[in-house]
Amino acid sequence: MSHSDQRTPLQSRASGPLTGSVRVPGDKSISHRALILGALSVGETRISGLLEGEDVLNTAKSMRALGAQVERTGDFAWVVRGVGVAGFAQPKAPLDFGNSGTGCRLVMGAVAGCPIAAVFDGDASLRSRPMRRILDPLEKMGAKVTAGGEGGRLPLTLQGARDPLPLTYKTPVASAQIKSAVLLAGLAAPGTTTVIETEASRDHTELMLKHFGADITSTVEGQHGRRITLSGQGELHGAEVVVPADPSSAAFPIVAALIVGGSDLVLSDVMTNPLRTGLFTTLREMGAFIEESEVRGDAGEPMARLRVRASKLRGVEVPPERAPSMIDEYLVLAVAASFAEGTTVMRGLHELRVKESDRLEATADMLRVNGVKVEIAGDDLIVEGRGHVPGGGLVATHMDHRIAMSALVMGCASDQPVKVDDTAFIATSFPDFIPMMRSLGAEFS
């Protein structure tokens, strides 16, 4: 597997002000999609700013294994020469996605529309995560799971459809991964494939499909939903993609700067797609100073320069409909809520139970061992902030990079140091997190 078996524990202690200017890594969601759509296109796709963490590199390897030419041409610069829609070749070995649920599930969708069989595998964490919600619509389109674990768990063999069927599918939950898998399979199907969402999920796949030349539309459905319609069997064309800085990665230095007194940070080119910035909205409601400037865009994705200053935070209620726009950021939001004055209630967090770990329980455990009063009520997380965090706890990361990074951020301002049992998995999405935070003034040892 792609990760190291060697544990790398780390301790974070209160520091002086965090200051400086940084660009966090390229967005992981955009990086995965640029590689996959480049591989399904005719011609050459040039990508700059690609996230070079293990998750994305495993997607690059899988695209090579499926017949595309994928080459690194410089720092964060890659070229993909594609095979066209439904052009994937039979891979000679299992596709190993390491820790990446996004890469695995999106590639399942792309393979489902090709007349080939592929074995999907990953590390122990990915093997434990359910895939049935992705596989159900793909099987309706003609793909078949011919071998696999209980509940569609990895390793599994997916036989793509020789003649994929178009589908109208209403997603059971707001999930960009389910939607994207159906749309990627639908590229090879005749006629129209439609995905209906009652709660809009991240729209990166729709925006990038349009950038690569797909005939795709998105319209409002109900109060919070979307109806996405794709015309299949069209040709995609190679494109230039500038990957914006990842708002999920930016969340960690942003929260650290808000809770460490005197901090003043600048982060460049951060994606500001409204379906990804629920955390920024919530932090501003809590009283955070987060200022946007130099707004621009690429491949349909807006980005901006953010300036963040230490702020006095207050507890708020976060509505459930905001969850899709910040599902990966609740862990570090819980850290911010711990340092706020008053109670923060985060509602509708069921999706956190099916991530790299049960993130809802793991987040509560992270807070409890560091002296924060926290409660789980159904799918709601309730954090009682007292303006400071005692710290002194040892956090179990459960092979989850976001738990590790959130705990280290907590230690930057806690009364006593916070220890993390393992930081090896941070490399899956944010390889330079520890040196970057140290460069800003964080004290990790």
Q: Which has the closest alpha carbon to 333: 304, 303, 302, 359?
A: 359
Tokens of 396: 């179990």
CA neighbor of 431 nearest in space, from 52, 20, 30? 52
Please state, in angstroms and rounded to a whole number, the distance separating the CA atoms of residues 234 and 84.
10
Q: Is 264 a catalytic residue?
A: no
Q: Is the peptide bond before 244 cis (omega within 30 degrees of 0)?
A: no
Q: At what angle do helices 330-339 and 278-285 cross, to 10 degrees?
A: 10
Tokens of 260: 């460490």
Alpha helices in 43-145 (DSSP H): 54-65, 101-112, 124-127, 132-140
Question: Helix (H, G, I), strand (E, B), or coil: what is residue 147?
Answer: strand
Instruction: List the catalytic residue out of 27, 55, 328, 400.
Output: 328
β partners of residue 168: 194
The pairs formed by 125-128 with CB atoms below 8 angstroms and a separation of 24 or more are 125/99, 125/356, 125/357, 125/398, 125/399, 125/400, 126/97, 126/98, 126/99, 126/100, 126/101, 126/154, 127/153, 127/154, 127/155, 128/153
CB distance 144 to 293 below 8 Å: no
**Alpha helical stretches, state H, 14-157:** 28-39, 54-65, 101-112, 124-127, 132-140
Q: Which residue has the tokens 């989850």?
A: 400
CA 91/CA 443 separation, integer angstroms: 45
Distance (Å, whole) CA 261 – CA 310 = 6
CB 26 within 8 A of CB 272: no
Which two tokens mark 118? 């592929």
b/e map of 30-60 (b: 16 or more CB within 10 Å)? Answer: bbbbbbbbbbbbbeebbbbbbbbbbbbbbbb
* 46 SS3 class: strand
Which are the catalytic amino acids? 328
